[in-house]
Amino acid sequence: MSDIAKTLNLRNNAKQSLDKSYTATQQFGNFCSVALKLGVLFIVLTLNFLGLSVALNCNLHAATPQKLGAAIFAFFFGFIYLLLNYYTYRVLTLKKVCKMDTTRLFPF
């Protein structure tokens, strides 16, 4: 069996993991590792949704294709969009701050 096939044999891997016993320190380390990964994922997802909201609010009166393109770019690259496009270009260069809609978070 190749290494990939051994890795993808989930039933055998599950049986082998049941035989292992972890110390309290290892369990705490695993817990902290998973908690850290989930925390980073939460922060990235929050920044992506924040970028999406800013993109939709800034392009409120734009045409639908432009609004959709900005929204997709902002959601995929949340932090980069907020830093480069919104802050550097709109705020510092154009001196325009977008007015956020207080009733709708994602005004499409």
pLDDT number for residue 1: 59
Positions of the chain with pLDDT under 70: 1
> What pLDDT, in 10s, does the model give residues 52-72?
999 999 888 899 999 999 999
Please state, rounded to an integer, the average pLDDT across all residues of the chain. 87
Domain map (residue ranges) of the chain = 3-93
pLDDT number for residue 68: 93
**Stretch (H or E) spanning 41:** helix 24-58
The pTM of the full predicted model, rounded to 2 decimals, is 0.73
Distance, CA of 102 to CA of 21 (rounded, Å):
53
